[in-house]
Amino acid sequence: MKILVTAKRVVDYNVRVRVKADGTGVETSNVKMSMNPFDEIGVEEAVRLREAGVATEVVVVSLGDAAVQEVLRTALAMGADRAVHVDTAEALQPAAVSRCLAALVAREAPDLVVLGKQAIDDDCNQTAQMLGARLGWPQGTFACALTREGDEVVVKREVDGGNRTVALGLPAVVSTDLRLNEPRYVKLPNIMKAKKKPLEQLAVSELGVSLAPSVRCDRVSEPPVRSGGVRVADIAELVDKLRNEAQVI
């Protein structure tokens, strides 16, 4: 079983995100960047399947400028076999990413595509679903457990109120949730070995897809500052404030 897994470069989850002064987007200059945590879980799961003998090859892919090769090397150090960098300076939306990934699937012919359920920079949670629809493949989203049984993969999904288990015929698309696994710590020897692993660079034109955006962003702004809490004297005052001052969200 060949696995194609994604790795997006995002602002590190420990960094406090700041909006640009002109409101055109989020400030990324001189900001620590890292692999999207959900994608890191996806890479870890793909590598575990390969180590268990279930998968034969793990190919990691990322879209963006030259800087994304940093996260690709991290994925290679985690255990991926080779990497593909789709080189573009365009701002990518989920629909465009799904088109690129569909073209890569046609090129690589994987049996399973694993994506993080969402990226922490836009929280769209759309790419995996769009890719499954474009390919016409079954999909298991929000996976918290993943096993292979014969010609199927069995995905335990996190849903409202509990879990749901689905069996997907291969090829299939799976998106990972937080409780699927805990990614390994990358050791220095593996980082050095990753430098010798193949990393292929492709231009978007080689995939023959359009990156035209389907959504326009007019302005980005920080959420309003929350006002401080107040202490009430009794239940009657609390009920009065809830009735007359509480904001409906």
Q: What is the separation of C-alpha 238 from the centre of its chain, rounded to a whole number of angstroms?
A: 42
Regarding beta strands 172-176 and 112-116, do their DSSP bridges make them parallel or antiparallel, or are they unpaired?
parallel
Q: Average pLDDT of 31-38? A: 94
pLDDT at 248 over 70: no
Considering the chain, what is the average pLDDT of its residues? 93
Q: Which fold has domain 2-215?
A: Rossmann fold (3.40.50)
Residue 20 is predicted with a pLDDT of: 87
Residue 214 is predicted with a pLDDT of: 84
At 135-186, the pLDDT tens digits run 999 999 999 999 999 999 999 999 998 999 999 999 999 999 999 999 999 9
At 192-216, the pLDDT tens digits run 999 999 999 999 999 999 898 888 8
The residues spanned by each domain of the chain are: 2-215
Residue 249 is predicted with a pLDDT of: 47
Residue 12 is predicted with a pLDDT of: 93
